[in-house]
Structures are given as structure tokens and as C-alpha cells.
Amino acid sequence: MTTDWDAHWWLAEVANDPTYEEEVLPLLIDLLEPRPEHRYLDIGCGEGQGMRAVGESGATVFGCDLDAVLLGHATGPVARARLPELAWLIDGAFDGAYLVLVLEHLSNHRRLFAEAHRVVRPGGVLVLVANHPAFTAPGAGPLIDPGDGEVSWRWGRYLEPGTSVEPAGSFNLTMHHRPLGELLVAAATEGWALADLVERGPGPAARQRDPLLAAQANIPRLLGVRFHKAP
């Protein structure tokens, strides 16, 4: 299997970004509400930040990812696999599954929702944490009024599903954009019922560090969704 991910760039420049601890992982834990007696699948676990955070609850966490270098940093059981396929896992093996900043890297999100639905038991949970599609839409970005510094948001091509290519270390990553409605309908089509949806702008610590972010408090950057599988 070949990887399409620059693990060294991720470990050196992104994995320690404070917004992970401050915003991404707390959103995951808020939505997943992990229980010590439960088994979870971390889909696209990378170097295991989500596994460590969920594992602190006492839950059992199994991770999978394509990148062998990142997997080498994870603690706990992991498997190397190319998503969206999860055919190597039996039906109903987990009480819950989650993805953190992974779905936007996959060209076939419907297949991922279907496979996650198969490997989670009836009554189980799926949590999606992603960059908000309004934030990552091709051509989206802040617009700053040079007169008074007011920040507004350019939507870019939000309503059109599509891709953009972003530099990431020594690789160019293809990011898959889907409007929010497309994501929710795809999940529902594969059997997931919406239980909660959270949109968050930059958190207080990030706004304090960066004046441009301070002016974007009401512009969504992170999306978190909790889905349930029917009992």
C-alpha cells in the first residue's frame, strides 16, 4: 500500500497545533461521551491523538489508518488499511466509531458512512469531527475591510461539491468539499440518524493568539456531528 500523506510534516508542524487540545479533541469527547465499557473504532487515527483522548475514559479504542509512520506513534491496537473500506472488520464489532479530520480526505464519503454503519452494533454511535465545509469550500476565506478592519466571509463555491488541492509538506493533498446538506443526507441514506450537530468558530485561546481569528468568532471552523444507528 502506498501512502499519500506526508507524515513527517504532520508530526512536525500540525500534530502539536494547540487547537487540537483546545478545540478538536474536546468537541470529539463532548459528542462521543465515551464509556469505559465500550469499544470504539478511530477511523483514520493518524498518530493516535483521538485514541489517547478517548482512551482516557477507560474505553477500548482500536485505530486504523493508511500511514505506517503515523501508526507507529499510536498507542493501542491499530491496523494499516485504506479507507473507506473496512471489509477486514466483522459486522457490529464496535459500540461506536469516530472520524476526526479524515472525511475530507476521502473521495467516497458514502461508502465510509455505509462501512461505519456495518461495523457499529445496532444502537451504536458515529461521531464526525471535520473542518466546517463553509470554512474549507474552494475559494472560501476571510475578507478584510481595509477601512475599519471588519472581517466578513467569502463563501467560495460552497454549494458545489468539488475538490481543491492544498500543499501539505512535500505532498499536495486533494481535499473533498461537500456542503453540509450533502454530508447529512449521505449519512442518513446509509442508515445514520442525526442526534446532535455542533458548529464552532475559533475558540477563546485561538482568538487571543491571533487578531484575525478574533474577528471571526462567529464564522464556523469546526463541525461536529453525532449520529445513532437504530437499535
Ligand X SMILES: C[S@@+](CC[C@H](N)C(=O)[O-])C[C@H]1O[C@@H](n2cnc3c(N)ncnc32)[C@H](O)[C@@H]1O
Q: What mask, x for binding ligand X by CB under 6 A, covers residues 86 to 125? A: --------------xxx--xx-------------------
Of 69 and 215, which CB lies nearer to ligand X in the complex structure? Answer: 69
**In terms of DSSP H, where are the helices of 56-136?**
68-71, 109-119, 133-136
Closest residue to ligand X in the complex (CB): 46
Pairing relationship of beta strands 120-131 and 222-229 according to DSSP bridges = antiparallel
Return the number of other C-beta atoms located less than 10 Å from residue 93's C-beta.
16
Give whichever of 105 and 157 is closer to ligand X, judged by the CB atom. 105
Question: Of the listed pieces 46-54, 111-119, 180-188, 218-226, which binds ligand X according to CB under 6 A?
Answer: 46-54
| Segment interacting with ligand X (CB under 6 A) among 66-74, 157-165, 209-217, 218-226 | 66-74
5 interacts with ligand X by CB under 6 A? yes
Q: In terms of CB distance, is 77 or 123 closer to ligand X? A: 77
Phi-psi region of 188 (alpha: psi -120 to 50; beta: other; left: phi over 0): alpha
When binding is defined by CB under 6 A, the residue of 31, 45, 74, 140 that contacts ligand X is 45
Q: Which is nearer to ligand X, 82 or 154 (CB)?
A: 82
What is the length of the chain? 231
Vertex 139, ends 50 and 174: CA angle to 5°?
50
Sign of the C-alpha dihedral computed for residues 60, 66, 67 and 68 taken in this order: positive
Nearer residue to ligand X within complex by CB, 106 or 137: 106
State the Cα–Cα distance between residues 218 and 199, nearest whole angstrom: 10
Contact between 83 and ligand X per CB under 6 A = yes
Q: Residue 54: which H helix or E strand, with range? A: helix 49-55
**Site of interaction with ligand X (CB under 6 A):** 5, 44-46, 49-50, 65-67, 70, 82-83, 100-102, 105-106
